Structures are given as C-alpha cells and as structure tokens.
Amino acid sequence: MIAYLEGQVIDKTETYFILETGGVGYQVFAGENFLATVKKGQRQIVFVHHRVREEASDLYGFARLSDLELFELLISVSGVGPKSALAVLSLASAEDVKTAIIHGDASLLTKVSGIGKKTAERLILELKNKILKISPESKNDSDFTGLNDELDALLSLGYSVNDARLALNQVGPEFSSTAMRLKAALRYLAR
C-alpha cells in the first residue's frame, strides 16, 4: 500500500493534481483546502489513501497524516464515499470535524452535499468512540462553540463554504467572541 508520495506538481485542476515521482505522473484527488495550497512546479509531499475498485484505482491526497486518518474513518461508515469525505474535510479542519462528532453536532456534517441527517447521525454514532480513542484531547475542546454560527452567518451572506472556512481560519486567537470573529472574517473577505 502506498503511504505517501513526494514529487513535483506537474498540473492541477479543481479536483485533483498530477504529481510526478520517479518519472511517473500520479493523479491525486484532494479537497478544496489542500488543493488551494498546491502550486504547479513546486515539490510536494502527500499522504495518500489508495482506493482500489473493480473499475478504478484512485489516490486521495492530504497534507497531514491526521487528515488522512480522519478521511479513512469517514469512508469506513456506510453511505460515505471518498467525495463526501473530501467535502467534509474541505468544510472544516480535521479537529473541528472530530469535535463536531464527539459533541454529537450533526449540523456541521449535513452542510456537505450528499450527507443528510441520517448519515450524519450514523457518522456520529459509529465514529465518536473511535475518535475519542485516537485523539482524547478533542474531548475538552472549547473552541468549537461558535464554529457553526460563524460559518452559517458567512454562508447566509452569500460566501462559499471554502471562502468562509478560509476567512475563519485567518482569524487570530485574540478574537474570542463569535461577533468579534465574524467581524474579523468579514474584514478578511473584504480584501
């Protein structure tokens, strides 16, 4: 099984990039957030999940091993495929998704096209204990409280999920309240 690839990015599209390693170009599918950081011509290390099916052999790439581990947990749940799992990881950071699952908050997961309320509840039911075993520090995460409110507010103003997530990730820890974080994110988006 392939654990990671290192090489030069030859080209990229909205859903994948091509990584040349040892004279071979690998098509690596990735989420929006990771693809936004990948630049044509740069050297890149990618942690990969190799999915082999009867009609295809696909590679899914991640910048961090923790993202890969969460992706593999997500696709282990019936009804969640690789595209839905990538969409979840594009919507929020791996830690935010883990925290949502631990706290039983299905609303973050249902923002992804293809994941309805029942699938989100199944994700929470099946993954909560697994996530607590591999990252017990997520149990006491207090930064989660305003995440959905801030994201919902930006989405209702017409911003894309990716832009809203990017803006919220740029907000520093000095902004503690939801209102302050939202104002800072809006300032970032106005640039």
Query: How does pLDDT run across 86-100, given as a tens digit for each residue?
Result: 999 988 888 888 988
Q: Which CATH class is domain 4-62?
A: mainly beta
What local confidence, expressed as pLDDT, does residue 137 receive? 55
The residue length of the chain stands at 191
Every domain of the chain with CATH number 2.40.50.140 lies at: 4-62
The token pair that represents 49 in the structure block: 């999940």
Name the average pLDDT for the chain: 86
Which residues lie below 8 Å from residue 25, measured CB to CB, with a gap of 6+?
10, 18, 19
pTM, full prediction: 0.72
Question: Out of 33-42, 49-58, 144-153, which region has the weakest mean confidence (pLDDT)?
Answer: 144-153
Q: Are 115 and 85 a contacting pair, CB within 8 Å?
A: no
Give the ranges where 103-177 is alpha helix by DSSP (H). Answer: 106-109, 117-134, 147-156, 161-170
Instruction: Tell me the β-bridge partners of 29.
Output: 16, 60
Q: 77: which DSSP letter?
A: S
CATH of domain 65-140: 1.10.150.20
Every domain of the chain with CATH number 1.10.150.20 lies at: 65-140
